[in-house]
Amino acid sequence: MFKNKLGGALAALAAAVALVYACGGDDYFEEYDTKIAAGGEASGGETAAAGPVINVDPATAATVRGVINFEGDVPRIPPVNMSAEPDCVEMHGGRVASDRVVVNDGKLQHALVWISKGLEGKRFPVRGDLVTLDQKGCIYRPHVVAVQQGQAINITNSDPTTHNVHPLPKDNREWNKSQTSSAPAIDYTFPRAELKIPVKCNIHPWMQAYIHVIEHPYFSVSGEDGSFEIANLPPGAYTLQAIHEQLGEKEIEITVGASETKEADFLFGS
């Protein structure tokens, strides 16, 4: 009886400690993220595939590249209104165009292109390129970034003002962090694959970016000229998907042979 009571008291104490710990900030969340990455708390999001890491033979690797075209009327989006924050207005010479739909000479920027089907269950090395999301002129730059699951995003503040970085994922953990102009970069790795994670700033409501976290390394974001390129791809049959958060999704079926380079252009429009 005494033992049972003691056991119950210990369990209650452990629960209380766990609760305090759960509310306790970064350490808890880091542990939680690590658990998710290992597949321990998966519930809906994509976790890293199991099995051996596939190192693609450069001698047979294929490439898919192309351009995102846009035809029709470009949606009219009002310029960014920064009047609530004179410090931000001062950083610009005048009107600040919205970056939600950017079309240059009929080419669409900021579209994610990725292999959406054909690589299921396959595991690849994590990309080593530096992916930076900067805050400059009270705008997120670039407007869209993509990283591989397990690859860090380097979030920097180039402004003389403070920002509050606030991603709003559905399958990963939501967090927000203030970053002063002199603060070091925030390196953050989303443990689960998830498309279209909006990022806002709690101080400047007009600031918006999107982060795509992809379970494999085969993705690209279209540049100012609408171009994209996905290299080092194992030969095979794939679905190539383009996603723009305002304009929707398009798909192209492709088959690439050993060492082949294939062109695949997308067309968006109104």
Q: Site residues (CB under 5 A) for Cu ion? A: 163, 201, 203-204, 207
Q: Is 97 helix (H, G, I), strand (E, B) or coil?
A: coil
**Residue (163 or 212) nearer to Cu ion, CB:** 163
In the bound state with Cu ion, the residue whose beta carbon lies nearer, of 207 and 254, is 207
Residue nearest to Cu ion (CB): 201
Reported as type and span, the H/E element at residue 3 is helix 2-22
Least separation in angstroms between residue 174's CB and Cu ion is: 17
Cβ-based nearer residue to Cu ion, 203 or 267: 203
Q: Closer to Cu ion by CB, 107 or 204: give it.
A: 204
Q: How far is the CB of 207 from Cu ion (least distance, A)?
A: 5
Phi, psi of 140 (to 5 degrees): -75, 130
The span from the CA of 154 to the CA of 141, in Å, is 12
- Angle at 156 (CA atoms; ends 150, 159), nearest 5 degrees: 165
Q: Which is nearer to Cu ion, 56 or 203 (CB)?
A: 203
Please report, in angstroms and rounded to a whole number, the separation of the first and last CA atoms in the chain.
Answer: 74
- In the bound complex, what is the minimum distance in angstroms from residue 6's beta carbon to Cu ion? 52
Q: What distance in Å separates the CA atoms of residue 208 and residue 152, rounded to the nearest whole number?
A: 19
- Token couple for 119: 């690589």
109-to-96, 171, 195, 220, 227 alpha-carbon distances in Å: 17, 26, 17, 11, 8
Nearest distance from residue 166's CB to Cu ion, in Å? 9
Q: How far is the CB of 121 from Cu ion (least distance, A)?
A: 40
